[in-house]
Structure formats: structure tokens, C-alpha cells
Amino acid sequence: MKAFIVDRYGSSAGNVRAGEVPEPEVGPHDALVQVHAAGVNALDTKIRDGEFKLILPYRPPFVLGNDVAGVVVRVGAEVRKVEVGDEVYARPAKDRIGTFAEFIAVDENDLAPKPKRLTMAEAASIPLVGLTAWQALVELADVRPGQKVLIHAGSGGVGTFAIQLAKHLGATVATTTSAANVELVERLGADVVVDYRKDDFEGVLRDYDVVLNSLDNATLRKSLTVLKPGGRLISISGPPDPAFARELGKPWTLGPVMWGLSHRIRKAARRRRIGYSFLFMRANGAQLGEITALVDAAIINPVVDRVFPFEATKEALAYVEKGRAKGKVVVTVRENPEKT
């Protein structure tokens, strides 16, 4: 089958190539999904560059890609949750990525029904960012009506989804973005918008319950000042903490490293009586099913910036890497997936 393959780690465009690889094996609990569309994420470029090779040791050559929407074409002997012909979407488990391909085998527990009102391309934009927002705001922060939530980079993939989810949960939502994106984030539900090029958010916002950070360490540290005691600071951009080492099943090997990496921010958070968590989202079909219901009820709408053809996957990665996308970028693997 056709796929986009990482031959070696590194930021060069030549480290990803189009090629042929064997069709994936289908285990007893797997479904083979014919890929119609795949989301493109900043995570893909970071994996390509080798930023996660110590904690996610993919061995080149491997197929890149972390979001999929498509149709089930084969199921394993013990699969009970999906059937051949089902339209599904997923963020595959972190050790089973490879959506930039014609087919991918996904554990049935990681799959969810594709939202009926969306095209395949729109659906493929959701799993990774949707699950990230859900696990941050629902699972970790337990956001309640009346709370105040700050979501950094509101016009990005995670930001556009998280703003809508936080509003649905009843929160007052603030976000940071550029002046060009103010209308977009307000349309999604942001109550307070800080133009990061003009104002310092830490001088404008006070007494927030939750901050979702996807930016650099300087922004992470400043975010502590806008939180009230008992608040939660959740970062998807690092630094990783010891809890993540336990989640990986490597508390003794990676725990000390992650303790050191996150020591300063955790210490600063404790001084202010604020909880700090690093989130590396995980595949979860049940949670994605909850998201499907919200999307089909038009409570949350995907924001898709550009759609590239499959053969232009490298160009799509380069576009995402520029950091200018509003919402998500998608590649279509099959022709006219929106008609499926």
C-alpha cells in the first residue's frame, strides 16, 4: 500500500518520503480501516524530528500520522464493537500510529463512529485535538459551570476545539491569539480575547481556575500568575512530569529525568497552591464517542484550515510546521471522501 514513511529522524523534508509498505496485520481485537482522510498535526513534525524518540521509540522506517477517518474493511476474530462497512474515526494508540497510508489497523477500543453530519475530511480533523481538549478539560480539570478557563493559542487545532468544549461545560473562556484571529475565536465562544502581540495576558487576566497551555516555557511560567489558589495548570507542550513516566510504564528509567525537567514549574506551582499536569493525550474510543455526540448535535464544529491531496502530504507537514494554520490541516487519501 502507499504510505508516507520516516526513514530517519530529522527536520529535513527528505526524511519523509512516499513509498510502498505492506498492508498492516490485523490482530484479533483490530479493525482494518481504509483511510479516507488523515489529520496533520504539529505532533507529526515533532515525531519526524525525533523530539519524542526517548519516550516513543519508533524505529525508522515507520509510517507517520496520528488522525484517521475511514471505513472498516476487515475485522479481527474477537472484534465486537465495529463491523465491516462502518464509518469510523480515531486517534490510534501512540505505539500504533501510521495514518498517512491507504490502510491502518486500529484496536476496536480506540475507534468511534464518525460524526454523521461531517465529511471524512472534517472528521479526520478531530480525534487528536478533540481528545486532548476532553482529557484536559473534562478528565483532568473537571471544568464546572461558572469557572474561568484560559486557553492559549485559541486559533490553533487544540485551541479551536477547546474553546467550544469549555463553553459547553459552562465556563467563561479567555484565549490568546493575534488580532487577525479575534473574530474566529469569538465566533467559537471566547468571552475574553487577548491579542498577544499587543497585551501581556498576565497583566489582563486574574483568578482563573484552569489554564491549558500549548506554548513555550515562558508562557507556562506566566500562566501561574493568572491562576487562583487551587487552580490547575495543564500543559500539552511540556515539560513532562513523573506522572507521565508512570503512565508510560517507565517510572524507574524515565521518572528521574522527568522529575528534573518539570521540577522548577512544579515547585513554582506548589508555592501558589496550584496543580501542574503534563498531558500527552491517549487514544480512547469511548471519549471520542462522547465527542461524536457533541459534534452531531452541532455543539462543537470542526475548524479546517486547508485540505491537501494525499500526494502532497509533505507539503501539508511543511504548512503545519509554519504554525499559521487556523484550526486543522487534513490530507485526503481517497478521492472525494466528502461524498462517502
Is it the case that residue 314 has pLDDT exceeding 60? yes
| pLDDT tens track for 50-84 | 988 878 878 999 999 999 999 999 999 999 999 99
Query: Is the per-residue pLDDT at 333 higher than 90?
Result: yes
Per-residue pLDDT, averaged over 286-310, amounts to: 98
Query: What's the confidence (pLDDT) of residue 14?
Result: 76
Q: What confidence category does residue 337 fall into, taking pLDDT thresholds of 50, 70 and 90? A: very low
Quote the pLDDT of residue 123. Answer: 98
CA distance 114 to 111: 9
| Phi/psi of residue 31, nearest 5 degrees | -120, 135
Mean pLDDT of all residues in 131-142: 98
Q: Which domains does the chain have, with CATH numbers?
A: 2-126+302-339 (3.90.180.10), 129-278 (3.40.50.720)
- 106, 96 contact by CB (below 8 A): yes
Task: Tell me how far apart the alpha carbons of residues 4 and 209 are, in angstroms, rounded to a whole number.
Answer: 42
Reduced 3-state DSSP string for the chain: CEEEEECCCCCCHHHEEEEECCCCCCCCCEEEEEEEEEEECHHHHHHHHCCCCCCCCCCCCEECCCCEEEEEEEECCCCCCCCCCCEEEECCCCCCCCCCECEEEEEHHHEEECCCCCCHHHHHCCHHHHHHHHHHHHHHCCCCCCCEEEECCCCCHHHHHHHHHHHHCCCEEEEEECHHHHHHHHHHCCCEEEECCCCCHHHHCCCEEEEEECCCHHHHHHHHHHEEEEEEEEECCCCCCHHHHHHCCCCCCCHHHHHHHHHHHHHHHHHCCCEEEECCCCCCHHHHHHHHHHHHCCCCCCCEEEEEEHHHHHHHHHHHHCCCCCCEEEEECCCCHHHC
What per-residue confidence (pLDDT) applies to 336? 56
- Residue 245 clears pLDDT 90, i.e. is over it: no
**Whole-model pTM above 0.85?**
yes
pLDDT of residue 165: 98
At 23-58, the pLDDT tens digits run 999 999 999 999 999 999 999 999 999 988 878 878
Q: With bands split at pLDDT 50, 70 and 90, how would you rate the model's confidence at 340?
A: very low
Return all residues near 18 (Cβ < 8 A) that are at least 6 apart: 2, 3, 4, 5, 311, 313, 314
Q: Is the pLDDT of residue 214 over 90?
A: yes
Q: What is the mean pLDDT of residues 123-132?
A: 98
Look over the chain and give the mean of its residue pLDDT values, rounded to a whole number.
95
**pLDDT over threshold 80, residue 339:** no
Residue pair 103/34 in contact by the 8 Å Cβ criterion: yes
Q: Which residues face 111 on adjacent strands?
A: 90
Q: Are 172 and 206 in contact (CB under 8 A)?
A: no
CA–CA dist 335, 114 (Å, integer): 18
